[in-house]
Chain A
């Protein structure tokens, strides 16, 4: 646990009231600006003096970034909408229960009351070497401290590592990928919409960033289409403590079954790589197959193809396999063979 050091180092604070003003400020201060939503990820960095932005743009006063609105047959969720608002929203619960479940399992009640969906999907990597201020690849250095012979790496990545072995710990991110959500991004030049799946990037693409957001960019909303409304959902998060903790591994799936067969399905997992991973190969392999133990087994085996555990995180391989199995067949049918 961190040391209390009375007060954060000074920064210039802006609290714009409109999205336009926020985007203007981000354009003006560029790399010097730190975008703050609920602040739950922000304050750790600032209090620990690991990151020292000179300008903080606090979005808490931008009312047009909050709220859940119908859009088409789906929803548009403002990026500043708190996780509690999402959990309590009846439409989210009824049509997109996957997001409801994921949001409800984030951190603690107070954190959900303040933490935003935009912040939850855009939070920085979980790795205590990186977060402890070690000059690693992600921090601009030339070593990964979590991937050395004596490193403690129980929570680290088993897939898609490229120099950095940190993980993306978001619970809502895999749910949004499974629901084929879209991210609305604004900057001074205009607005663009990207698939949730393409919003997240791994270290091979850019080792210093978790998302495609660049300085000046602002995630303003998340759109959930009606493609998966009312589908069969499965979300499971495995963690050490049932409050506060980030997932060791989580899984989110949306599926439509017909006549005992898997008509269509989307599966995404997190906590296993520096970005939430959509299991496209698994989806392709199980589509059209009967929803039974054999299919679930095959899905689990396929999900762990290419997994490369580190010294202390080998348990994540069977964990991932079994969670993917459960995401297809449900809890009763899955077994915890190792």
Chain B
């Protein structure tokens, strides 16, 4: 993702970072028109199933009002509108797992779900794992204890995938866990240490 990787028609002299900062500072975005390249077909927006711009999302236990475009993915909303940048965008194509979040306790690639589809569901990101007092989630604690990651860009995705997997299978073998979180990639090839950390996290989760 280069900083100048904007569609045509983006105002010159704006870096991606400026735009993102501005967007986050303003809370809900008032206009994302600069991202549109063409006008939409005139559809009947009062038809059954038509959607509204201003929606409420349940993110990390909070009700968040947010203005979303129809074509916006959940990863974009979380990162650039709600400021939850712990969710990473790696490939944006369901091929790496860095953007994994829990939707109703199930791991999903947030790059590949429309924000509108997540309406009414319980979204949990890496920011929502620790307790309000700052006590780490057992899986996060496992990472700290085992120093599981190298660069850690993939970390939040791995942790969310593991937390989701442990809800279904709280006592996995190392092989089962490896299979359960096989939808996440680590370019540092640190899989062995990651699995050790996640197994430690599973153990701590069972004790908690």
A95 at the interface (CB under 8 A from B): no
Which secondary structure dominates where chain A touches chain B? mixed
Q: Quick one: CB contact mask for A240-270 with B, threshold 8 Å, 1 for yes?
A: 0011100000000000000000000000000
Which of A14, A40, A61 is B112 in contact with, Cβ under 8 Å?
A40
A89 at the interface (CB under 8 A from B): no
Q: Total A-B pairs in contact (CB under 8 Å)?
A: 148
Judge whether A109 and B182 touch: CB under 8 Å. Answer: yes
A305 at the interface (CB under 8 A from B): no
Rounded to whole angstroms, the CA-CA distance of A58 and B70 in the bound complex is 11
Chain A residue contacts of B165, Cβ below 8 A: 109
B49 at the interface (CB under 8 A from A): yes
How many interface residues does chain B have, given as a range?
35 or more
Write the nearest CB–CB distance from A13 to chain B, whole angstroms: 4
Chain B residue contacts of A113, Cβ below 8 A: 106-108
How many interface residues does chain A have, given as a range?
35 or more
B13 at the interface (CB under 8 A from A): no
Judge whether B182 and A108 touch: CB under 8 Å. Answer: yes
Q: Quick one: CB contact mask for B65-107 with A, threshold 8 Å, 1 for yes?
A: 0000111110010000000000001011111010010000011
Give the segment of A19-27, A183-191, A229-237, A271-279 that binds chain B: A19-27
User: Which A56-72 residues sit within 8 Å CB-CB of chain B?
Assistant: 56-58, 60-61
Chain B residue contacts of A5, Cβ below 8 A: 5, 7
User: Which B1-54 residues sit within 8 Å CB-CB of chain A?
Assistant: 1, 5-7, 32, 35-41, 43-45, 47-51
Write the nearest CB–CB distance from A5 to chain B, whole angstroms: 6
A239 at the interface (CB under 8 A from B): no
B180 at the interface (CB under 8 A from A): yes
Give the segment of B113-121, B129-137, B145-153 that binds chain A: B113-121
* Shortest 10 CB-CB contacts between residues of A and residues of B: A108-B183, A54-B41, A16-B49, A12-B43, A13-B70, A14-B49, A8-B71, A21-B48, A110-B183, A109-B183
Known contacts A39-B117, A54-B40; 9 additional CB pairs below 8 A are A2-B92, A6-B5, A10-B37, A17-B49, A39-B112, A43-B94, A58-B114, A108-B94, A110-B109
5 residue pairs from A and B, CB less than 8 Å apart: A1-B95, A3-B5, A14-B47, A14-B48, A14-B51
